[in-house]
């Protein structure tokens, strides 16, 4: 697939940018943290303490694909502009699957930057599964076993305008929120409540079974809730509407992406791309540590 020209933004070239973010010198071993190492003939490093072989990008999000640094920088720029996967693939001359994998990696890096979201990831840095395995015998059984996380949304005014904080609520699950005496609304796969616990809303995404159960008693329509009138939700719906139906298993990635975009909507491209590059160069958290 031929690559089309992607207009560059002023700033450092890709190799220099990512090399600086991942460490030019004094790179510690990603396995044991030792600085004692020696250089192999092919340029890779070998730890003198644990004999682990690595290079500058080992163990970092940027290393979880076959893309080169130029492609990654272009992906960050096009992601900021809001290109779809198909349009981005055409511009880069890459397959749909390759671009989709890269964007999933980028969204995981954004999610991992929030300490409260760490519990949503497994030992490999991927999103942990929350749906019960196998087909339950009844809807009620499904809801009891469901481990879908619940996010809180809180908005406030900052120095550069309204800001949003989107965080998973520790110890709270979707089935519990469904039992609260709160007005609720539903959009695509998302279910969200009226104000609760000092939050503007509680929000989660769940499977079709649970959404059908929820909708059974509200045939006449959902009640308006506070989130429906917020600038954050007015920003969120058009952005998420660009994507294909968001699967409940991956919705935390898109919530954190929207929070990131909303809180940086007034910054220029160069600043946002630089921050995305920094997140992409972070080490993948090891949940077994």
Q: Give the rounded percent of residues in the chain with a pLDDT score beyond 90.
A: 42
Which whole number is the average pLDDT over 156-164?
83
Task: Write down the pLDDT at residue 287.
Answer: 47
Q: Which of 2-11, 56-65, 149-158, 179-188 has the highest mean pLDDT?
A: 149-158
Considering the domain boundaries, does residue 226 fall inside one? yes
Q: Over range 2-17, report the average pLDDT.
A: 66
**CB-CB contact of 283 with 63 (8 Å):** no
Domain-located, residue 287: no
Domain containing residue 166 = 139-257
Find residue 155's DSSP bridge partners. 164
Q: What is the mean pLDDT of residues 281-289?
A: 71
Residue 30 binned pLDDT confidence (cut-offs 50, 70, 90):
confident
Highest mean predicted confidence (pLDDT) among 30-39, 87-96, 169-178: 87-96
- How far from the centroid of its chain's Cα atoms is residue 17's Cα? 22
With respect to residue 206, please indicate whether it lies within any of the assigned structural domains: yes
pLDDT for the residue numbered 205: 86
Please, are residues 142 and 209 in contact by the beta-carbon 8 Å criterion?
yes
The per-residue pLDDT for 131 is 66
Residue 14 lies in a domain: no
Count how many domains the chain has.
1
Does 26 map to a domain?
Answer: no
26 pLDDT higher than 60: no
Average pLDDT over residues 71-92: 94
pLDDT at 10 over 50: no
- Please tell me the predicted confidence (pLDDT) of residue 143: 57
The answer to whether 276 touches 137, Cβ cutoff 8 Å, is no
Asked whether residue 81 carries a pLDDT value surpassing 50, the answer given is: yes
What pLDDT does 3 receive?
64
In a domain, 150, yes or no: yes
Q: Count H helices, E strands: the chain?
A: 10, 8
Across the chain, mean pLDDT equals 83
Please compute the mean of the pLDDT values over residues 235-262 and round it to a whole number: 90
């Amino acid at each position: 697939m031929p690559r089309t020209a992607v207009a560059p933004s002023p700033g450092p070239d890709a190799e220099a940018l990512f090399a600086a973010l991942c460490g030019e010198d004094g790179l510690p071993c990603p396995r044991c943290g030792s600085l004692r190492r020696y250089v192999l003939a092919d340029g890779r490093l070998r730890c003198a303490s644990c004999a682990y072989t690595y290079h500058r990008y080992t163990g970092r999000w940027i290393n979880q694909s076959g893309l080169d640094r130029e492609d990654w920088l272009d992906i960050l720029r096009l992601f900021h502009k809001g290109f779809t996967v198909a349009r981005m693939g055409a511009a880069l001359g890459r397959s749909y699957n390759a671009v989709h994998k890269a964007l999933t990696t980028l969204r995981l890096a954004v999610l991992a930057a929030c300490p409260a979201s760490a519990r949503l990831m497994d030992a490999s840095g991927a999103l942990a599964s929350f749906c019960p395995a196998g087909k339950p015998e009844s809807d009620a059984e499904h809801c009891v076993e469901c481990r879908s996380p619940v996010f809180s949304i809180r908005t406030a005014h900052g120095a550069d305008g309204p800001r949003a904080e989107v965080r998973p609520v520790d110890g709270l699950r979707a089935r519990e929120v469904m039992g609260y005496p709160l007005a609720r609304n539903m959009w695509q796969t998302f279910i969200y409540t009226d104000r609760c616990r000092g939050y503007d809303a509680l929000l989660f995404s769940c499977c079709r079974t649970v959404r059908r159960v929820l909708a059974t008693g509200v045939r006449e329509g959902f009640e308006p809730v506070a989130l429906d009138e917020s600038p954050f939700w007015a920003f969120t719906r058009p952005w998420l509407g660009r994507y294909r139906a968001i699967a409940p298993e991956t919705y935390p990635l898109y919530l954190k992406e929207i929070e990131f975009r909303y809180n940086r909507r007034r910054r220029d491209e160069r600043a946002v791309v630089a921050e995305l590059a920094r997140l992409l160069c972070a080490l993948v958290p090891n949940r077994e540590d």
